[in-house]
Amino acid sequence: MGARKPVLSFMFYTKPYMDEKSSDFGKAMPLPNQRAAWKEHSAWMAVNYAKGPADLDTQAAILSKLCIEILGGNCTGAYVPSEQLFIPNDGSLLAALEQNASLLSYLNPPPNSSK
């Protein structure tokens, strides 16, 4: 029997994460850059670790590694519902993802030593 592999799920939605009735959520964010980013967003994507053999920290690191690869200029920020944490894409998001992804050293290939 082979090694169990993780199953990831992706969901794309072309409307804001919460409806206008829930806008108090964004207004309650502690930092101005969080509130501004939340107010600006017009669509969202969810990336989830659906199932697999990894513990929660490893799952988060795998998702962080993936999100680094798909992060772009049209991303307003990332929301982590389990932590009720919104990280705007102002430099702090990439740094947070890189820090979390660094927990998976085995996903980072060693530098090429061939000449």
* Count of other CB atoms within 10 angstroms of residue 91: 8
Mean of the pLDDT values across residues 45-64?
88
Q: Please calculate the CA angle 88-90-91 and round it to the nearest 5 degrees.
A: 115
- Domain residues of the chain, as ranges? 7-105
* pLDDT for residue 103: 79
* pLDDT for residue 113: 47
Mean of the pLDDT values across residues 55-65?
88
Residue 61 confidence (pLDDT) above 60: yes
Q: How far apart are the first and last CA of the chain?
A: 39
* pLDDT for residue 22: 65
Question: What's the pLDDT band for 68 if we cut at 50, 70, 90?
Answer: very high
The answer to whether 68 and 98 are in contact (CB under 8 A) is yes
* pLDDT for residue 97: 92
Give the residue ranges of DSSP H helices in 1-115: 24-27, 32-40, 56-70, 92-101
* pLDDT for residue 2: 55
User: Of 34-38, 54-58, 60-64, 89-93, where does the model show the most confidence?
Assistant: 60-64
Residues 6+ positions from 72 with CB-CB distance below 8 Å: none
* Count of other CB atoms within 10 angstroms of residue 92: 14
* Bigger pLDDT: 22 vs 77: 77
- The CA distance from 77 to 71, in Å, is 9
pLDDT tens digits, one per residue of 18-49: 776 666 777 887 888 888 888 888 888 999 98
